[in-house]
Chains A and B, each alone.
Chain A
Amino acid sequence: MSSTYRLHHAARRSLASVMLTAAAITVNHLYSLGPRALLLGAVLVVLPTALLLWFRRTRSRLALAGYAAVSAWIVAGFGLYKGLWLGMLRLFAGTALASVSSSFPKPTIGRYPFEASGILMFVGALFVAYYGFELVRAALATTDTSPFPAGEAEAPTQRWRFAGVGGALLAAGVVAAYAVADRDTFAAPPNGVVTIGVIAPVTGPYAILGNSFVKAVQMALDDLRGTKYRYRLRIEDSGPDPARARAHVKKVVEDENVDAVIGAVSLIGQVTKPFATKARIPHLCVCTVATIGDGAYNFTNIPSPEAEAVQWVAEARRRGIRTVAIVQQDYPSINNHVKAMKAEAAREGLRIAYDNRYADSVTDFRAIIAEAKRVSADVYYVEALEPQLDVLAQQLADAGVRNIASVVAPSLSTKPWLFEGAWYTDSDLSDIAFKRRFEAKYPGTQFATHMMPYAYDSFNMIVRAYEQGVNPAVYVRNVRSYVGVAGTVTKQPGSGNFASQPTVWTITNGKPTLLRDEAVSIRTERIER
């Protein structure tokens, strides 16, 4: 085989491997760069082709060096770093390690084309490296200044044996290095201070929930006694808009390097999730969207709409209710509650006699109420957010409607007395004294029961982790059952969602009251009489 033939042969194969690998790189980067990945792909195809044509025409060492540099970029940057370390090792080694020990996080898994293209990036880079080396060797051989001898120093079989053993040792070393880097270990906080980010919207439509949420975490901090470390809150108002919340989350998690995050509202939790994963800190989100909880660094901690629905329908059946009229605001979280309630009602044989989902802009509900009254349902399921919530409640009262039930809503009302006699499901409180303490401590802040106990308990979970000298993410991964002010929350192994049981509340004497406490109070009154 002539040296010129060998050169052209190696060049063709090298360029083909570069092209195929560039295709995999382009597909892979569509997920992070979007259409700009096509530009990257074009550069990775055009640049080496141009350099190789230049070399073919002139035999320029500069062209060859340029081509080798592009190949090295593909091999090191895309093949070894992104394809192997961030791709294949995360997918295969990360999954295997997480399955044997909770010290390793479950890796974030992307869509199949992303994962497959990551594998092909690495495999392609091996070919780019091999044929690139062959090309350089063949090119230098034609100039008689090659540092690589043309003849074979060793028999091919022996060479492959060495390569096999060397490759296996290298692979074992790389996997071991990945395992060391992937493991979450405890690090004592600098200067003994643990900083916990509290990211919640305290303005806009979530103002009542957000303010109450922040105060609940502050109360948890104030309640700490005799801890090994000192704890500090870094409170950040994310605002209600997730697009703008990103900058707030980035500032707290990336720039200020907090040790953990407690977040409120799914919309903001969705923004916080990738930041917490990247920073490898636990993010306890008091929110209902289950997919936020990945079981690695992100966890949700609040009753699910399905749990609320089961409790609601059970209470309705207990009260002998057979028909329901729904009057609800068109709002994502409310829609989730209603959807779950309808599914459970259908299972349990409750009939939905009337169903009205009204738009945000509606403020006159009299026509809707009149229509609903015509079906004479046993109960009116009413759910809305402020300010429409109290307007609706007032107009229901004016129309003489008293048989009202809901999920969560009355606890968010600024005029709960408008719901006098209504019953609803909401988060549980293991001890009503928690609510009384909160109201005494923060007289100007409404206690919105829905999220408060979970905010308080989430903070204490982080504290327990540090006090026990356990990495906080690993600690939360390992929690199977936690008894706090929200009662008992449980979590399946590997899950990112704490499950908890909501309970039934009523509005009695203008205030949210636990139904079980009301029952005790009535029994006590009877005994006293």
Chain B
Amino acid sequence: MTSRTRTRIGWVAVIAILLGAAYVIVARSGPAGSAATLSVYGH
């Protein structure tokens, strides 16, 4: 395995970890930022 291949695998792993972690945070936060609730306003 060349150092260029190792670097590429490293970058792919870093990006995958970041995107995966972001997915977990977004999923746990619920429907934040959603405009769907606008239709059920009350007082």
Q: Measuring CB to CB, which residues of chain A are less than 8 angstroms from any residue of chain B?
A: 88, 91-92, 95, 108-112, 114-116, 119-120, 123, 206, 209, 264-267, 270, 287-289, 291-292, 294, 305, 332-333, 335-337, 450-451
Residues of B within 8 A of A332 (CB): 39-42
**Are A291 and B42 in touch, CB under 8 angstroms?**
no
**Are A92 and B21 in touch, CB under 8 angstroms?**
yes
**Are A108 and B42 in touch, CB under 8 angstroms?**
no
**Are B41 and A270 in touch, CB under 8 angstroms?**
yes
**Are A206 and B43 in touch, CB under 8 angstroms?**
yes
Q: Measuring CB to CB, which residues of chain B are less than 8 angstroms from any residue of chain A?
A: 11, 14-15, 18-19, 21-23, 25-26, 29, 31-34, 37-43
B36 to chain A, nearest CB (A): 9
**Are B15 and A123 in touch, CB under 8 angstroms?**
yes
A292 to chain B, nearest CB (A): 8
Q: Which 5 A/B pairs are nearest by Cβ-Cβ distance?
A: A333-B42, A266-B41, A109-B29, A288-B42, A291-B37
Residues of A within 8 A of B19 (CB): 116, 119
Residues of B within 8 A of A335 (CB): 40
Q: 23 interchain pairs (CB within 8 A)?
A: A88-B18, A92-B25, A109-B33, A110-B33, A112-B23, A116-B23, A119-B22, A123-B11, A206-B43, A266-B42, A267-B38, A267-B41, A270-B38, A288-B41, A288-B43, A291-B31, A292-B37, A294-B32, A332-B39, A332-B40, A333-B42, A450-B43, A451-B43
The answer to whether residues A108 and B26 also contact, given A264-B43, A288-B43, A333-B43 and a CB cut-off of 8 A, is no
Given A88-B18, A120-B15, A289-B40: 16 more A-B contacts, CB < 8 Å: A91-B25, A109-B32, A110-B32, A110-B33, A267-B41, A270-B38, A287-B41, A288-B42, A288-B43, A289-B37, A291-B34, A305-B42, A332-B39, A332-B42, A337-B42, A451-B43
A394 to B8, CA, bound (A): 77
A330 to chain B, nearest CB (A): 13
Residues of A within 8 A of B26 (CB): 109-112, 115
Residues of A within 8 A of B23 (CB): 112, 116
Residues of A within 8 A of B39 (CB): 332
Among A114, A206, A287, A332, the most chain B Cβ lie within 10 Å of the Cβ of A332
Residues of A within 8 A of B43 (CB): 206, 209, 264-266, 287-288, 333, 450-451
Residues of A within 8 A of B11 (CB): 123
Residue in A95, A265, A305 whose beta carbon sits within 8 Å of that of B25 in the complex: A95
Residue of B nearest to A291 (CB): B37
Residues of A within 8 A of B38 (CB): 267, 270
A124 to chain B, nearest CB (A): 10
A333 to B25, CA, bound (A): 31
Residues of A within 8 A of B40 (CB): 289, 332, 335-336
Residue in A108, A116, A333, A336 whose beta carbon sits within 8 Å of that of B22 in the complex: A116
A404 to B39, CA, bound (A): 28
Residues of A within 8 A of B42 (CB): 266, 287-289, 305, 332-333, 336-337
Residues of A within 8 A of B21 (CB): 92
A110 to B34, CA, bound (A): 8
Among B21, B38, B41, the most chain A Cβ lie within 10 Å of the Cβ of B41
A108 to B29, CA, bound (A): 9
Residue of A nearest to B11 (CB): A123
Residues of B within 8 A of A264 (CB): 43
**Are A270 and B37 in touch, CB under 8 angstroms?**
yes
A63 to chain B, nearest CB (A): 30
A209 to B42, CA, bound (A): 12
A244 to chain B, nearest CB (A): 15
A334 to chain B, nearest CB (A): 8
Residue of B nearest to A106 (CB): B29
Residues of A within 8 A of B29 (CB): 109
Residue of B nearest to A408 (CB): B43
Residues of B within 8 A of A289 (CB): 37, 40-42
Residue of A nearest to B27 (CB): A112
A94 to chain B, nearest CB (A): 10
Residue in A108, A267, A288 whose beta carbon sits within 8 Å of that of B32 in the complex: A108
A116 to B26, CA, bound (A): 10
